[in-house]
Chain A
Amino acid sequence: MIEQPRMVKICDIWDESPSVKTFFFKFDLHFDPGQFVMVWIPLLDEKPFTISYIRNDLMGVSVLKRGMFTNALHNKKIGDMIGIRGPYGKGFGLQTNPDFCVVGGGIGMASLATVVDRLNDATIIQGARTASEILYQKRFKDMNLCTDDGTTGFKGTTVDLFRKLLTRRRFQKVYACGPEKMLYKVVELCRNHGIECEVSLDRYIKCGFGVCGQCDCSGQRVCVDGPVFNIKELSKMKDFGKVTILKTGARVVY
């Protein structure tokens, strides 16, 4: 783990969807699926991104164009430099034996992609707004897809599709990442069905190594105690699915 940004060259850029690009760079540190790095653009800002690809000696982060920082990142070209520090946080607890399912909503799928790479025979549920926003279509075969507008796969939410799948399939473990309201419902379903579950949470992150307190979720620091939490930990976290913390430290209800 490194705690000052190291400048790396962007060696490849893939268009994953109209609003998501993956940036590849050389970064030779050990990484567990679900961990994240801080990406720095000098003089601009620094934001957390999960590692979404490990390709030989390359790592990739998939970035949704959403605000000032991610717009600037999307404007980067192959050969440009970015700063990377990390990896940070506690990743997913991977078990090789159980029958498992990953549930990804929107850009949350990026966090689960390396989980799918590591484990064989994943059942994948991916939800997006519309067909063109589905990620990793060539990378993963036989995904169970859903879209808000029904342009591909099931028309409805990831939670609806997961619930539907549960009527005919039995899973021992679920890995999920996406909007927190979705995660809350996935965790509820898992609890009701006696399925183990781990989810990756998103909070505004500053230091990344557990000192500033910005990413608190009910006394848990998302940057070091998380971002991945299991069902037992989540049951003690009252803010999960309900409250997030803004840059000012103000609590806001989802």
Chain B
Amino acid sequence: MKLSVNVCNIRLSNPTILASGILGTTKALLKRVAESGAGAVTIKSVSTEPREGHKNPTVITFDAGMLNAVGYSNPGVVAAAKEFASLQDVGVPVIASVIGTQKEDFVRVVAGLSGSEFSAIEIPLSCPHTPGFGLLAGQGTPQATFDITSAVRKATELPIFVKLSPNIPEICAVAKAAEDAGANAITAVNSMGPGMIINIEAQKPILSFKVGGVTGDALRPIAIRCVYDLYKAVKIPVIGVGGISTGRHAIEMIMAGASAVGIGTGVYYRGIEVFKRVCEEMTLWMEENGFDDVNKIRGVAHD
């Protein structure tokens, strides 16, 4: 059974990738996720300066997923470069997630991480809950996406993944802007919303930032649709993220057109072992349905 895939010339032993923002705070945790079966891992997003993020509660769950507004807490690029040194120890490709409030910040962070052995740079232009970043800074428009991606393109030779929001009706236009600016892959999608959960006894929103990005089961059908549309709209590979926690979900996402699948909230549903279990379940499904190579199911949902 062949589970290995190739994304922008990065070889993944299987199509599962740890999505950014989950467990990617330290190299030790990345290594643990790799040992738990992930084909690649993504670090928690890094900005130029250290950020404390929002106050708690920052992450809560509900019956159809998770709501988070962590607020991009991270130690800043200098400390991150130290933390994520000698990345070959991790054992699988490591993707750097880079954020900024303006395009110059992205370039500075990419430069600051250039001494580390990252396999790709991901730029999420789509966070729905952090002032100054992503959607709240207007980075999700085709023009802003083009400008930031172009600036990062000049700053690195590594593959660039542009991570998009599911909220935007013209997601394909944004993806094309990224492709035109030299992006090598689209990561679809970031969390949706923002949403809100109110504790009715407290009579107040639970998250300290009041609103947060929605992930998990609630996001999956939307993520599948986005990937399905993007697969036809752009020539570069699409990494499908959103609500994947089982092998069947992963197969579904690949049928929509994904070259690889990101897993985040799945860690909540099924523990760190989710990566291994998704791969086992994919293998089983493929055996039962007469497939010997995961690459042969990519995009089969299309006419």
Give the residue of B51, B58, B61, B201 whose beta carbon is less than 8 angstroms from that of A212. B58
A199-214 vs B: 1/0 string, CB under 8 Å? Answer: 0000000110111111
The chain A residue sitting closest to B60, CB to CB, is: A4
In whole angstroms, how far apart are the Cα atoms of A40 and B268 in the complex? 21
Interface size range of chain B in the complex: 35 or more
Contacting B at CB under 8 A, from A62-87, are 81, 83
Q: Is the CB of A219 within 8 A of B25?
A: no
Q: B57 in the interface, Cβ–Cβ < 8 Å? A: yes
B259-276 vs A: 1/0 string, CB under 8 Å? Answer: 000001101100110000
Q: A233 in the interface, Cβ–Cβ < 8 Å? A: no
Q: Is the CB of A251 within 8 A of B56?
A: no
| Known contacts A5-B57, A206-B70: A213-B44 contact under CB 8 Å | yes
B230–chain A nearest beta-carbon distance, Å: 26
Q: A234 in the interface, Cβ–Cβ < 8 Å? A: no
A83–chain B nearest beta-carbon distance, Å: 6
Q: A47 in the interface, Cβ–Cβ < 8 Å? A: yes
B271–chain A nearest beta-carbon distance, Å: 7
Residues in A whose Cβ lies below 8 Å from that of B199:
4-5, 7, 42, 83
In whole angstroms, how far apart are the Cα atoms of A211 and B57 in the complex? 14
Q: Is the CB of B206 within 8 A of A213?
A: no
Contacting B at CB under 8 A, from A3-27, are 3-7
The chain B residue sitting closest to A82, CB to CB, is: B202
In whole angstroms, how far apart are the Cα atoms of A250 and B51 in the complex? 10
A207-225 vs B: 1/0 string, CB under 8 Å? Answer: 1011111101011010000
Give the residue of B23, B29, B50, B264 whose beta carbon is less than 8 angstroms from that of A250. B50
In whole angstroms, how far apart are the Cα atoms of A210 and B274 in the complex? 13
A169-207 vs B: 1/0 string, CB under 8 Å? Answer: 000000000000000000000000000000000000011
The chain B residue sitting closest to A214, CB to CB, is: B25
Give the residue of B197, B271, B272 whose beta carbon is less than 8 angstroms from that of A4. B197
Give the residue of B22, B50, B79 whose beta carbon is less than 8 angstroms from that of A213. B22
| Known contacts A4-B199, A40-B57, A247-B53: A219-B204 contact under CB 8 Å | no
| Known contacts A47-B56, A83-B202, A248-B50: A210-B268 contact under CB 8 Å | yes
Give the residue of B22, B83, B202 whose beta carbon is less than 8 angstroms from that of A211. B22
Q: A145 in the interface, Cβ–Cβ < 8 Å? A: no
Residues in A whose Cβ lies below 8 Å from that of B53:
247-248
Residues in A whose Cβ lies below 8 Å from that of B150:
none
In whole angstroms, how far apart are the Cα atoms of A245 and B29 in the complex? 13
The chain B residue sitting closest to A205, CB to CB, is: B56
The chain A residue sitting closest to B83, CB to CB, is: A251
Q: A249 in the interface, Cβ–Cβ < 8 Å? A: yes
Q: Is the CB of B59 within 8 A of A206?
A: yes
Give the residue of B31, B55, B59 whose beta carbon is less than 8 angstroms from that of A207. B59
Residues in B whose Cβ lies below 8 Å from that of A38:
56-57
In whole angstroms, how far apart are the Cα atoms of A81 and B199 in the complex? 12
Q: B208 in the interface, Cβ–Cβ < 8 Å? A: yes
In whole angstroms, how far apart are the Cα atoms of A138 and B264 in the complex? 48
Give the residue of B58, B75, B206, B267 whose beta carbon is less than 8 angstroms from that of A249. B75
| Known contacts A83-B199, A206-B56, A249-B75: A219-B31 contact under CB 8 Å | yes
Q: A149 in the interface, Cβ–Cβ < 8 Å? A: no
Q: Is the CB of A213 within 8 A of B265?
A: no
Residues in B whose Cβ lies below 8 Å from that of A47:
56
Q: What are 24 A-B pairs at a CB distance below 8 A?
A: A3-B60, A4-B199, A5-B57, A5-B202, A5-B206, A42-B202, A44-B208, A45-B208, A46-B56, A81-B202, A207-B58, A210-B267, A212-B58, A212-B70, A213-B29, A216-B28, A216-B29, A221-B23, A221-B29, A248-B53, A248-B75, A248-B76, A249-B25, A249-B74
Instruction: Other than A42-B204, A83-B202, A248-B74, give 4 A-B pairs with Cβ distance below 8 A.
Output: A3-B61, A40-B202, A42-B202, A212-B21
Q: Which 9 A-B pairs have the closest CB atoms?
A: A219-B28, A213-B25, A46-B56, A7-B201, A250-B75, A207-B59, A213-B23, A42-B204, A248-B50
